[in-house]
Amino acid sequence: MAEKLFKFANTFAFLCWILLIVFPHWQHTNRVIIYATAIGLSSLYVYLIVTNFGKTKGNFTTLRGVTKLFEDPINVLTGWVHYLAFDLMTGLYISTHAFETGFHRMLLIPCLLLTFIFGPAGWLLYVLLQILVYGRWF
């Protein structure tokens, strides 16, 4: 079951990323991604939390505790879905903000690709480019 949910979440997020990168200015892109993330990935995340809460040992207060949490494949899946949802919403924010501020599309694509693969690194690149290329801070 966990493997099927993992494949579903990855495919679902990947399709949203394709939409965001290839069709960022399509009038329905933002709406599709918001609902896909809210209904799809976030619902899956909540389902995994609710159905598995308290079933594993570990905690968020120490590195050892977090390591213990992630010994369980369901917890790894839950954490992965969390990453997928937040990275996608970060990509949506970057894309929307870039469109509103006239950020060049050729600079946007590497930011989105990096966000897709390495989350915060893509956000960092976007912020640095806003500062270095456009001389503006949000």
pLDDT tens for each residue of 40-88 = 999 999 999 999 987 878 888 999 999 998 999 999 999 999 999 999 9
**Would you say residue 63 lies in a domain?**
yes
DSSP type of residue 135: -
Report the alpha-carbon distance of residue 18 to residue 36 in Å, rounded: 13
Give the chain's domain count.
Answer: 1
Q: What residues make up the domain containing 90?
A: 2-103
* DSSP 8-state symbol, 117: H
User: Do residues 42 and 117 make contact, with C-beta atoms less than 8 angstroms apart?
Assistant: no
129 HSE (CA, 13 A, CB side):
21
Q: Return the amino acid letter for 30.
A: N
Q: Is residue 50 part of a domain?
A: yes
* Beta carbons of 24 and 108 less than 8 angstroms apart: yes
Give the residue-averaged pLDDT of 100-112.
95
Res 138 pLDDT > 90 = no
Question: What's the chain's Rg over C-alpha atoms?
Answer: 17
Instruction: Please indicate, yes or no, if residue 76 is contained in any of the structural domains.
Output: yes
- Region 14-36: mean pLDDT is 92
Note the pLDDT of residue 125: 98
